[in-house]
Structure 1
């Protein structure tokens, strides 16, 4: 009888059983690695190391009262005040200004640092921890360049608002052109293009207008260019020049106040609204709300600051042997006889004192003692750009003018 070998059969059975009981593949378990939170750094301190208290100075607050509310003794406040008074005057903290207090995290919870913000950028650090000290500092500021184009339908400020721009930009542009363009005669359809810079704290928080580099404003279809170059040695303000390196600044401002309207011009025959008779009106009336600042249109010396029945409160300024100006109907005078004033200094405020039917300033102008219409005078310009600086100026101007040319004018 033939023997049967069962070995191959047994091997097949074992292989089959082994396949049935193979373990299912294990699922991979992913472990999430938590990243540590980045530490918060501000004012040169790692805030995670402290208890942080933020607040603003309120009416009735003082440095001593704030420190007292956080457990600092009066003796310690006096010691701090004496040691830091050359850098930080505790008596001059202002309502509405933010401050930050850093306290130790231990059980004592001592005040270690007081930080007072004078502005969005400038702040003072008062260290109370070991040796008392104070340090002025600035937040990191970045400058971002912007361009804008707009068209005027009613006023410059309204045009800026239509573009979603700050009124500060309108003010700055008006300041640049105040010697060349009469903004009381601004026309519907006048256009502007501006290259300007803005300040940002930590790249995100808007901190205001830095400067205007270049602008062009079309007025009566004539382009008026302005390019920033250098600063005034006395005021520190930026100076602007046109395409031919002529200063945009003039000896006289175009008007003695900002954003108003001319209610009556210089004329030899006008019906007086109070006296009810025809007479010469040898001034230009600018209607504006009571309290609007009135400024001197040029450098000079105050020769009169008084009150009369007709003029009301008024100030008169002699600019040189040739020119004199006068400002009438003020609600309040802000200049004394003998006082030297600079162009743009506030010498009073709009009112309706004297023979006036409403709030306005009557602006009068003399040339060699004769009253004239200032808008018909060929008034002098300021000091021209030095010849030695012109090559540098034209190189900068050419580049900026090309950039302005890339911006399209907006139409109504």
Structure 2
């Protein structure tokens, strides 16, 4: 029978006791999961020379748990210091070891689920501690005299290019989660297709495939690289995008012909919102109570929602007026002006003469001036004449050419098969989805 270590500082909660008793069952399952991690080539990392320790005492997590050992997991509201105390260290030793670990890892950002293994000597004193740090590697400590010698072992980073595919049922966010991916990819898709697809109007049965690099450290997903290719079917129309980062063209996204997807104007000045009032020559004003033209599009959104300029330009007005409230006017070349009305405030440092780039945050949604609720009134003029922003025909920058186009076409040829197979399966699912509704 394994003798349990004495506890200092606080009583161990029951779930911890259950975990210790279940170690013979938990370890084989954990080891199987670790062994199932795929192998990846071409990984690079700075080599870390281990300290001259008796590292055989710090056995890797992949080996069978020794007899005089216990495995603990960090739980909600735990700190590294508190778990070390639970494992049998004195308050002095746990504080000392926490400081030593902090030289290699950010101990303040450790979250529930991290595993610590304690090994005990014949006197039932903690002889070594080993910790598996998600997204980083392992770190070990071996008792040495009155203190501990610490040996960090960061894992090798590796990357995998993979295809992600899904059919939308409720939302783009849920579709990505349902495919087993992090919804962080939502913003990449929105940024890629924002000039062609209105993401406020996605339909059930819309489908997408994308090729992206997933970055791992020690088997843990730590993030995504940029999407290198994407295909999005929206209301029966398929859009494609391929990333180019060559000196002659990118970085940016292009159709397979080499034509940029980026247009002079974004489709909307807000990321996520809804249209509450459209462009009209004869609209009943909710405040003034009479009919008059509404020369813009109203986007309903909470106060404080960031507002972006829809094209590169220069701020020519940023002030308050009784009707428009806080408003901004941006001039784009010598032809177009865009207006952003009823703002709660302007972006820090923004003033007349400020140069802005497409997508820059210039202000925040409010309800200043003649407004009955929080919204953005977005307007566009062409040579002084009001245009319906939804019908604005954008100017496309020059396409790729020469060597840049040849390199781009080679990359398109490589990536297209990665999109095609999932796309056929998704098309069948999309047809089935539409047939149900």
- With the shorter chain as reference, the TM-score category is 0.5 to 0.7
Q: Is the 8 A contact 1:197 1:211 kept in 2?
A: yes
Could you tell me which of 142, 158, 163 is aligned with 1:145? 163
Q: Which residue pairs with 1:182 in the alignment?
A: 198
2-side partners of 1:343 and 1:196: how far apart? Answer: 25
Who is 1:227 aligned against? 242
Structure 1 residue 300: Cα displacement: 5.3
CA distance, structure 2, for counterparts of residue 260 and residue 376 of structure 1: 18
Give the RMSD, CA atoms, in angstroms: 5.0
Tell me how far apart the structure 1 counterparts of residues 113 and 386 of structure 2 sit (CA, whole Å).
Answer: 52
Shift of 1:340: 6.2
Compared with structure 1, are the counterparts of its residues 78 and 185 closer, same or farther at alpha carbon in structure 2 (3 Å cutoff)? closer
What is residue 323 of structure 2 aligned with on the other side?
Answer: 310
Would the alpha carbon gap of residues 307 and 94 (structure 1) be closer, same or farther in structure 2, given more than 3 Å must change?
Answer: farther
Taking a change above 3 Å as real, the CA distance of residues 256 and 63 of structure 1, as seen in their structure-2 partners, is: farther
Contact 1:194-1:212 within 8 A present in 2 as well: no
The residue aligned with 2:189 is 173
Secondary structure in 2 aligned to 1:46? coil
Deviation, 1:378, is: 3.8
Q: Verify: 1:278 aligned to 2:318, yes or no.
A: no
Moved more, 170-179 or 318-327: 318-327
Question: Residue deviations 1:87-129, cap 9 Å, x none?
Answer: 6455xx2485654444442333267455654xxxx33756554
Rounded to whole Å, the distance in 2 between the matches of 1:252 and 1:94 is 41
2:300 is equivalent to residue 287 of structure 1 = yes
CA shift at 1:191, angstroms? 4.9
Give the equivalent residue in structure 2 for 1:242. 255
Contact 2:139 2:153 in 1 (8 A): yes
Deviation of 1:178 (Å): 0.5
Q: Do the aligned partners of 2:213 and 2:227 also contact (CA within 8 Å) in 1? A: no
Q: Is the 8 A contact 1:139 1:201 kept in 2?
A: yes
CA distance 1:331–1:174, change in 2 (3 Å): same
- CA shift for structure 1 position 210: 6.2
- 1:260 counterpart residue number: 273
Which residue of structure 2 aligns with residue 4 of structure 1? none
Q: Does 1:389 align with 2:399?
A: no
Post-superposition Cα deviations, 1:142-177, rounded to whole Å, max 9, x if no partner, equal 5543444x4x79x86399489867655655433321
Counterpart for residue 76 of structure 1: 96
- The Cα shift of 1:380 comes to 3.3
Residues 209 and 303 of structure 1: is their aligned pair in 2 closer, same or farther, counting only changes over 3 Å?
Answer: same
SS in structure 2 opposite 1:379?
coil
Whether 2:60 is the aligned partner of 1:46: answer yes
Structure (1 or 2) with the larger CA radius of gyration:
1
Shift in alpha-carbon separation, 1:195–1:51, aligned structure 2, 3 A:
same
From 126, 135, 150, the equivalent of 1:109 is: 126
CA distance in 1, matches of 2:219, 2:133: 21
Unaligned runs of 5+ in 1: 1-35
| Map of 1:251 onto structure 2 | 264
Q: CA deviation at 1:245?
A: 0.9
Q: CA deviation at 1:229?
A: 3.5
Distance 1:335 1:302, change over 3 A: farther
Tell me the secondary structure at the aligned position of residue 73 of structure 1: helix
TM-score (norm 1): 0.64
Q: How far does residue 255 in structure 1 lie from its aligned partner after superposition?
A: 0.8
Distance 1:108 1:365, change over 3 A: farther
Q: Say how many residue pairs are matched.
A: 360
